[in-house]
């Protein structure tokens, strides 16, 4: 690890604040997908960023906003939500380094109750016991929720003190194709803290999973009180107007009126409103405008 990247990563240490002696993890309730993956460092120590109450401390929620009013208390490192592709570093507690330590991938139940002994080699996060700063292999950071717990010669007590971590990795479903702009440039790629992935939230007039569809009806192309329906013709966005009686045409601008082939004996007939028409007479004839009353 170079000094430069270590300095850069300091910025990304877990954010938290302390209120009346309690650790409250900093949370964004809604996060926007960052194009650049970022490195995250977790200080693996029971001294600093251990939250206990699931809702009020670890997730910084007003208890009233929770669906179930569970009193879930599991002392743990501030739970993480990362983007797929972010890198995770564990910075081990200096005073533990002489003992050596490792992390183990556990199930949700083992995370809550702290693991008993007897782990398979495959569950160990690091090949060797760690001292200092170590990167978690990206293979452990696939999309989904992962639970890591302390594996230490001193037994499960450290896990009970909070040396366990809930890491949720989210991927984004905001690009129509690998190099396409996020949400087609017509929306934001967001994830609420309780959502499992990032998805597009479209700007007004756009819709579709990737905000790829322009809402043609929003420009009000249908006239004369016609109703508008969105259509997709292949890749092009389109619309269809349903005209009220006496109007026709793509935009319902054409009047279905009184003109018949020989309405104007010597001239051209054009509809002015559904109930009136105009004869444009040939030379030498007189023009009339007939207005019919519908009653």
Q: Which residues bind ligand NAG (CB under 6 A)?
A: 54, 62, 64, 71, 73, 79, 81, 105-108, 111-112, 123, 140, 142, 145-146, 166, 168, 221, 225, 249-251, 253, 267-268, 280, 282
Residue (219 or 291) nearer to ligand NAG, CB = 219
Quote the least distance from Cβ 238 to ligand NAG, whole Å. 11
Quote the least distance from Cβ 212 to ligand NAG, whole Å. 20
Residue (97 or 227) nearer to ligand NAG, CB = 227
Quote the least distance from Cβ 95 to ligand NAG, whole Å. 27
Between CA 29 and CA 217 the distance in angstroms is 33
Task: Return the residue nearest ligand NAG (CB atom).
Answer: 168
Quote the least distance from Cβ 136 to ligand NAG, whole Å. 11
Would you say 56 and 65 are in contact if contact means Cβ atoms under 8 Å apart?
no
Cα 150 versus chain centre, distance: 32
Quote the least distance from Cβ 159 to ligand NAG, whole Å. 13
Residue (140 or 176) nearer to ligand NAG, CB = 140
| Signed CA dihedral, 148, 150, 155, 158: sign only | negative
Backbone angles phi, psi at 281, to 5 degrees: -85, 150
Quote the least distance from Cβ 172 to ligand NAG, whole Å. 16
The contacts of residue 13 (CB under 8 Å, 6+ apart) are 41, 43
Residue (153 or 250) nearer to ligand NAG, CB = 250
β-strand 164-170 against 172-173: which pairing, if any? unpaired
Residue (39 or 249) nearer to ligand NAG, CB = 249
The contacts of residue 270 (CB under 8 Å, 6+ apart) are 259, 277, 278, 280
- Residue for token pair 């000094």: 3
Between CA 156 and CA 273 the distance in angstroms is 86
Using alpha carbons, select from 151, 139, 141 the residue that is nearest to residue 96: 151
Residue (155 or 244) nearer to ligand NAG, CB = 244
Residue (145 or 176) nearer to ligand NAG, CB = 145
Quote the least distance from Cβ 99 to ligand NAG, whole Å. 24
How many residues are there in the chain?
295
Quote the least distance from Cβ 51 to ligand NAG, whole Å. 11
Burial of 48 (0-12, 13-18, 19+ CB in 10 A): middle
Token pair for 271: 């509809």
| DSSP sequence for 153-202 | TT-THHHHTT-EEEEEEE-EE--SSTTSPGGGGSEEEEEETT-SSEEEEE
Between CA 197 and CA 217 the distance in angstroms is 30
Residue (188 or 246) nearer to ligand NAG, CB = 246
């Amino acid at each position: 690890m170079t000094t430069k990247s270590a300095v850069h990563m300091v910025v990304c240490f877990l954010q938290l604040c302390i209120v009346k002696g309690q650790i409250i993890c900093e949370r964004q309730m809604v996060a926007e997908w960052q194009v650049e993956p970022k490195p995250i460092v977790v200080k693996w120590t029971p001294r600093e960023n251990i939250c206990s109450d699931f809702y009020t401390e670890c997730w910084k929620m007003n208890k009233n906003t929770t669906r179930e009013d569970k009193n879930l208390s599991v002392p743990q490192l501030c739970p993480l939500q990362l983007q797929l592709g972010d890198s995770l570093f564990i910075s081990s507690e200096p005073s533990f380094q002489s003992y050596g330590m490792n992390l183990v991938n556990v199930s949700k139940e083992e995370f809550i109750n702290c693991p008993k002994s007897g782990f398979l080699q495959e569950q160990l996060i690091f090949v060797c016991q760690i001292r200092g700063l170590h990167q978690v292999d990206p293979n452990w950071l696939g999309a989904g929720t992962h639970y890591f717990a302390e594996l230490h010669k001193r037994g499960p007590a450290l896990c009970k003190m909070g040396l366990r971590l809930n890491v949720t990795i989210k991927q984004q479903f905001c690009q129509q194709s690998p190099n396409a702009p996020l949400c087609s440039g017509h929306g934001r790629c967001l994830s609420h803290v309780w959502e499992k992935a990032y998805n597009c939230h479209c700007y007004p007039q756009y819709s579709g999973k990737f905000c790829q569809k322009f809402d043609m009806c929003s420009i009000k192309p249908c006239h004369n009180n016609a109703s508008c329906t969105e259509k997709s013709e292949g890749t092009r966005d389109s619309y269809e107007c349903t005209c009220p009686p006496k109007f026709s045409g793509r935009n319902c601008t054409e009047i279905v009126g009184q003109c018949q082939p020989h309405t104007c004996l010597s001239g051209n007939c054009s509809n002015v409103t559904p109930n009136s028409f105009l004869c444009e007479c040939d030379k030498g004839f007189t023009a009339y405008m007939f207005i019919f009353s519908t009653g």
